[in-house]
């Protein structure tokens, strides 16, 4: 098993309102460890020395929950394509490498501590319209609506988003367009999602702006950073949907109920 | 306390039990629902779906999760699929058959009424999720696709590539977010439940810690639902997420909720083996791999260090095909796991530490071609290569069993209510539907059945009854019980911070996991369990004098979070061992070496052990003392117990 000596620069910040800075650490680690396990090992060493461990988020550690993620040498989730931070292994690096680790940077993702950021803005975008309303228990028989395999597969490609925020961190404008358009693409490609399509589009775009994310100016960095390889074609689709929805937008009639 | 375990399951024809029960339950007038507050702990398939459904009905819901977003609950990691008795393939499936298979698969240790309801609701789940936009796999016809899973003889499993759990959870999450937007659900992410509040004998609230600011708060409601998942991380290394913990359940158990069948744990045979001490978790490889892979180890110990390609065909032992000619590599999970352990114990394991067996695709690649194998398993092969750095197309995979799911949990009746009035438990956190062994593609089904369909009815029935009988006294956070619970939580946090020992909570957790796996893992003996019962309290004592928790309680402090969880695992492990010791039979995921057939298979003892073991907590200031066992006898009116055979 070959061991690597790594020279780390890690962003340390004690809290949201405190200034942070890079601190250097030297770690020796087997090439088979994952990047997060390397940080675990470093944290164990820090605790032994009664120094506070580095705070970072992770949960499933198999690339599906979307909890983990930070910048590794300036790239969200690090150098390996289509890979979350937890699935990145040290064999990707060489002994003697210098690695810079810092949190995702975006106005809408405030740093909470060290490498941990608050991505609550993503939840609020979904709240604004990222759903298909269906009262529990009143759904029609599942096979009553056929959905062409191609549409179903494309919807699935969008639904694969894990909400990690790498797209925002990669974008020079910190735009959430890939995340938001993926949700719209998933729901808007399915027949069930049609009745709410226009409301959804207008509401989610407005929310995205309100949360302080920037605009998309076609840098395509998001697509390159996305661990699930979600295509920017969904952003184009969102823009088309938005134009159409705006053109058709009309005031909703207030109609009083019975009695 | 005298406890009578009443299942409250309806009697009469099993097909109509749930419908009759629903009719008999009390309703709450739509205008009155917002006056009732339901506290939902957990946001996975059971918790997220339950909170969304209760919110839609108009109840005032407060939902809590430790993750930074409800979308990240561990239900997300389920790969395989979800069963439903739709019979879309016209291959003879029915609600009754799914019920039958589940009771049998659980090795006759589940309640028939519950399992029938689960099979019945499976059909509604697929309708519900499809309507929400969950992208299940489809055929070219545009209809939903199914596959056969986990050795079932019918194709009843619905799936969404290898991400069924993720897609179902995102469906529930979207429904939940809609309700949050509508104001019916108040969401508290990064918030951990640290204590249960009981007022006048009723579960009325929880004490939580805001993991970002450290703020301790109490929340009061009319009912509390725990949907907080399983306790697999008591083994430290498992396929569970890093944060999965038993704390909510354990806090409730310490307050009087019975813990049922903790010894029923499920070990999944196809995980990537442990690579070294640095390892933080184990990764599951879908069981479907066994459809085309052949499991083997070298016949001779001295061959174990060789490259697999250098071991001649005649020197390989395809032990599952040899011992189980009719099922071969497709034997159920418990049997595949135990056999892997046996060959490794004989010294014939492969890979680092000798804890692994080969899963070889060479024959399938020869027969089907690399392209076909890649089409079926490409994403899994890629995942394997990413973790191990080895290419499974050219060298056999190495696999080893790992803890994956826990069938035990808090005891609940047919209404999913624990023995504490007002405390409901859903999903993996309860003990109810899987008996001693869970079949593949059944966990997602149970989580959603509990969340979307069962809890919204039974919780409503409970609050309506309490209101009618005037039993829910007015309570707020100034109540003495609330103050006391908060004080206990704060004292415990201060205790962790004041120990100032040398070892990290993770170091204790790792040591605990190793001993639990060693003595209460795939095979359990009286001697080993007694050793464990001696070792766990010793480790617990070391923990309380030697753990190091740095920083303060008033900020984001992951060491403090871990310390609290490890402290509870250190108590729970003892109950796990005690239950395993008490159940002298082998059944499902629980294998007692003293109870096996002549051929070395698990031997059930229905005369003495056909019951649910529900444990009552006893303890003093120092921790748990000997718990009290309560038994709920199990009766089988429809599916008669028989010995499983896979020869």
In CATH, what number is assigned to the domain containing residue A66? 3.10.20.30
Answer yes or no: is B204 within a domain.
Answer: no
Q: Measured between CA atoms, how close is A123 to chain B, in angstroms?
A: 7
Structural domain total, chain B: 2
B582 with B487, same domain: the answer is yes
**pLDDT score at A257:** 65
Burial B444-482 (b: 16+ CB within 10 A, else e): bbbbbbbbbbbbbbbbbbbbbebbeeeebeebeeebebb
Answer yes or no: is A146 within a domain.
Answer: yes
CATH number for the domain including A207?
1.10.1060.10
**pLDDT score at A258:** 64
Q: Which tens digit of pLDDT belongs to each residue from B570-589?
A: 999 999 999 999 999 999 99
Answer yes or no: is B292 within a domain.
Answer: yes
Average pLDDT, chain A: 96
Q: Which tens digit of pLDDT belongs to each residue from B132-174?
A: 999 999 999 999 999 887 767 899 999 998 899 999 999 999 9
- Give the residue-averaged pLDDT of B511-527: 96
Residue at which a domain ends, from A82, A113, A144: A113
Q: List residues bridging with B217 in a β-sheet.
A: B208
B386 with B494, same domain: the answer is no
Residue at which a domain ends, from A113, A132, A160: A113
* Dist. CA B109–CA B612, nearest whole Å: 7
- Give the residue-averaged pLDDT of B386-410: 95
User: ipTM of the assembly?
Assistant: 0.97
Answer yes or no: is B541 within a domain.
Answer: yes
Residue B242 has pLDDT above 80, yes or no: yes
Residue B88, CB half-sphere, CA atoms under 13 Å: how many?
24
Q: Are strands B619-620 and B316-317 parallel, antiparallel or unpaired?
A: unpaired
CATH number for the domain including B324?
3.90.700.10
Q: Are strands B223-226 and B423-425 parallel, antiparallel or unpaired?
A: parallel
Domain boundaries, position B285? 269-401
- Give the residue-averaged pLDDT of B406-417: 98
Residue B286 has pLDDT above 90, yes or no: no
The DSSP secondary-structure symbol of B428 reads G
Which residues in A lie closer than 8 A to residue B88 (C-beta atoms)? 143
In the sheet where B423-425 sits, what is the strand order?
A: B185-188, B60-64, B37-41, B223-226, B423-425
Answer yes or no: is B100 within a domain.
Answer: no
* Dist. CA B96–CA B160, nearest whole Å: 25
- Nearest C-alpha neighbor of B519 from the set B259, B235, B244, B275: B235
Contact check, Cβ <8 Å, A139/B130: yes
Answer yes or no: is A89 within a domain.
Answer: yes
Answer yes or no: is A256 within a domain.
Answer: no
A167 with A217, same domain: the answer is yes
Q: What is the DSSP string of B311-372?
A: S-GGGEE-HHHHH-TTTGGG--HHHHHHHHHHHHHTT---SGGG--EEEE-HHHHHHH-HHH
A234 with A124, same domain: the answer is yes
**pLDDT score at B164:** 93
Residue B181 has pLDDT above 90, yes or no: yes
Q: Measured between CA atoms, how close is B85 to chain A, in angstroms?
A: 13
Catalytic residue among B17, B209, B333, B338: B333
A141 with A230, same domain: the answer is yes
Of A113, A146, A155, the CB nearest to B135: A155
Average pLDDT, chain B: 95
Residue at which a domain ends, from B365, B380, B401: B401
Give the residue on A whose Cα is nearest the Cα of B175. A131
Domain boundaries, position A231? 119-248
* Dist. CA A202–CA A126, nearest whole Å: 12
pLDDT band at B3 (very low <50, low <70, confident <90, very high): confident
Answer yes or no: is B593 within a domain.
Answer: yes
Structural domain total, chain A: 2
Answer yes or no: is A258 within a domain.
Answer: no
Residue at which a domain ends, from B401, B426, B444: B401
A174 with A215, same domain: the answer is yes
Answer yes or no: is A65 within a domain.
Answer: yes
Residue B49, CB half-sphere, CA atoms under 13 Å: how many?
31
Contact check, Cβ <8 Å, A67/B67: yes
Answer yes or no: is B529 within a domain.
Answer: yes
| Residue the block writes with tokens 């207008």 | A202
**pLDDT score at B152:** 79
A70 with A17, same domain: the answer is yes
Residue A259 has pLDDT above 60, yes or no: no
Inter-chain Cβ pairs, chain A and chain B, closer than 8 A: 218
pLDDT band at A1 (very low <50, low <70, confident <90, very high): low
Answer yes or no: is B246 within a domain.
Answer: no
- Of residues B458 and B289, more confidently modeled: B458
A105 with A129, same domain: the answer is no
A160 with A226, same domain: the answer is yes
Answer yes or no: is A24 within a domain.
Answer: yes
A108 with A123, same domain: the answer is no
pLDDT band at B1 (very low <50, low <70, confident <90, very high): low
Give the residue on A whose Cα is nearest the Cα of B507. A44
* Full-model pTM: 0.97
Answer yes or no: is B508 within a domain.
Answer: yes
Cα radius of gyration rounded to whole Å, chain B: 24
Answer yes or no: is A208 within a domain.
Answer: yes
A129 with A102, same domain: the answer is no
Answer yes or no: is A91 within a domain.
Answer: yes
A109 with A123, same domain: the answer is no
A38 with A154, same domain: the answer is no
């Amino acid at each position: 098993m070959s061991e690597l000596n790594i020279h780390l620069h890690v962003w340390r910040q004690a809290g949201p309102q405190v200034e942070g800075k890079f601190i250097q650490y030297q770690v020796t680690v087997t090439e088979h460890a994952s990047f997060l396990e390397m940080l675990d090992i470093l944290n164990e060493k820090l605790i032994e020395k009664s120094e506070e461990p580095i705070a970072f988020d992770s949960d499933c550690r198999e690339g599906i929950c979307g909890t983990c993620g930070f910048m590794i040498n300036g790239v969200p989730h690090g150098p390996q394509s289509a890979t979350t931070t937890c699935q990145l292994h040290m064999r990707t690096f060489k002994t003697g490498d210098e690695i810079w680790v810092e949190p995702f940077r975006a106005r809408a993702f405030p740093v909470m501590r060290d490498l941990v950021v608050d991505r609550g803005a993503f939840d609020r975008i979904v709240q604004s319209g990222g759903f298909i309303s269906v009262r529990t228990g009143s759904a029609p028989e599942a096979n009553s609506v056929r959905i062409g395999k191609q549409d179903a597969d494309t919807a699935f490609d969008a639904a694969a988003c894990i909400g990690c925020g790498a797209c925002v961190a990669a974008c020079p404008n910190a735009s959430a367009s890939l995340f938001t358009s993926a949700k719209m693409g998933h729901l808007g490609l399915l027949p069930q999602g049609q009745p709410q399509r226009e409301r959804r589009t207008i509401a989610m775009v407005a929310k995205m702006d309100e949360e302080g994310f920037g605009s998309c100016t076609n840098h395509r960095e998001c697509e390159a950073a996305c661990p699930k390889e979600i295509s920017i074609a969904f952003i184009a689709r969102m823009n088309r949907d938005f134009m159409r929805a705006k053109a058709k937008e009309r005031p909703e009639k207030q109609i009083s109920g019975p009695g | 306390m005298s406890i009578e375990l009443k299942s409250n399951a309806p009697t009469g024809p099993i097909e109509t039990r749930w419908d009759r029960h629903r009719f008999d339950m009390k309703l709450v007038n739509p205008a009155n629902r917002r006056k009732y507050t339901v506290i939902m702990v957990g946001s996975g398939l059971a918790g997220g779906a339950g909170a969304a459904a209760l919110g839609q009905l108009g109840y005032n819901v407060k939902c809590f999760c430790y993750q930074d977003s409800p979308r990240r609950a561990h239900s997300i990691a389920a790969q395989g699929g979800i069963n439903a008795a739709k019979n879309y393939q016209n291959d003879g499936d029915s609600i009754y058959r799914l019920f039958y298979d589940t009771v049998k698969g659980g090795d006759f240790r589940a309640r028939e009424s519950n399992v029938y309801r689960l099979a019945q609701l499976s059909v509604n789940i697929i309708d519900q999720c499809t309507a929400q936009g969950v992208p299940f796999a489809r055929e070219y016809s545009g209809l939903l696709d199914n596959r056969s899973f986990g050795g079932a003889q019918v194709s009843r499993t619905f799936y969404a590539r290898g991400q069924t759990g993720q897609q179902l959870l995102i469906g529930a999450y979207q429904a939940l977010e809609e309700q949050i937007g509508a104001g019916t659900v108040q969401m508290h992410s990064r918030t951990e439940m640290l204590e249960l509040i009981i007022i006048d004998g009723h579960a009325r609230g929880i004490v939580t810690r805001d993991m970002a600011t450290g703020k301790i708060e109490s929340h009061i409601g009319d009912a509390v639902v725990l949907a907080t998942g399983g306790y697999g991380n008591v083994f430290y290394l498992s396929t569970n997420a890093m944060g999965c913990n038993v704390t909510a359940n354990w806090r409730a158990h310490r307050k009087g909720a019975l813990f049922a069948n903790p010894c029923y744990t499920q070990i999944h045979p196809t995980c990537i083996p442990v690579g070294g001490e640095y390892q933080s978790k184990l990764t599951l490889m879908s069981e479907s791999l066994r459809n085309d892979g052949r499991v083997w180890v070298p016949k001779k110990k001295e061959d174990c260090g060789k490259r697999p390609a250098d071991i001649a065909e005649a020197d390989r032992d395809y032990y599952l095909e040899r011992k189980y000619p009719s099922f071969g590599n497709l034997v159920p999970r418990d049997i595949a796991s135990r056999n892997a352990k046996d060959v490794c114990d004989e010294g014939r394991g492969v890979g680092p530490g000798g804890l692994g067996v080969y899963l070889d695709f060479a024959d399938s690649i020869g027969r089907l071609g690399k392209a076909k194998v890649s089409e079926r398993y490409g994403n899994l092969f890629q995942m394997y290569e990413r973790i191990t750095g080895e290419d499974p197309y050219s060298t056999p995979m190495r696999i080893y069993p790992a803890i994956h799911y826990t069938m035990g949990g808090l005891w609940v009746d047919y209404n999913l209510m624990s023995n504490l009035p007002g405390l409901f438990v859903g999903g993996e956190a309860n003990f109810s539907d899987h008996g001693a062994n869970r079949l593949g593609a059944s966990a997602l089904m149970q989580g959603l059945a509990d969340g979307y369909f069962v809890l919204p009815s039974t919780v409503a029935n409970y609050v309506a009854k309490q209101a009618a009988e005037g039993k829910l006294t007015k309570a707020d956070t100034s109540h003495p019980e609330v103050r006391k619970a908060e004080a206990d939580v704060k004292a415990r946090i201060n205790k962790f911070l004041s120990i100032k020992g040398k070892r990290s909570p993770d170091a204790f957790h790792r040591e605990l996991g190793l001993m639990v796996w060693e003595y209460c893992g795939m095979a359990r003996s009286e001697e080993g369990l007694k050793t464990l019962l001696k070792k766990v309290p010793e480790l617990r004592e070391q923990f309380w004098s030697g753990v190091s928790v740095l920083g303060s309680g008033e900020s984001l402090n992951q060491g403090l979070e871990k310390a609290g969880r490890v402290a509870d695992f250190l108590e729970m492990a003892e109950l796990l061992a005690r239950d395993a010791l008490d159940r002298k039979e082998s059944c499902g995921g629980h294998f007692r070496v003293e109870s096996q057939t002549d051929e070395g298979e698990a031997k059930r003892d229905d005369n003495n052990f056909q019951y649910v073991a529900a444990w009552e907590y006893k303890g003093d200031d120092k921790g748990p003392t000997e718990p009290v066992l309560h038994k709920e006898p199990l009766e089988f009116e429809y599916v008669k117990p028989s010995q499983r055979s896979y020869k």
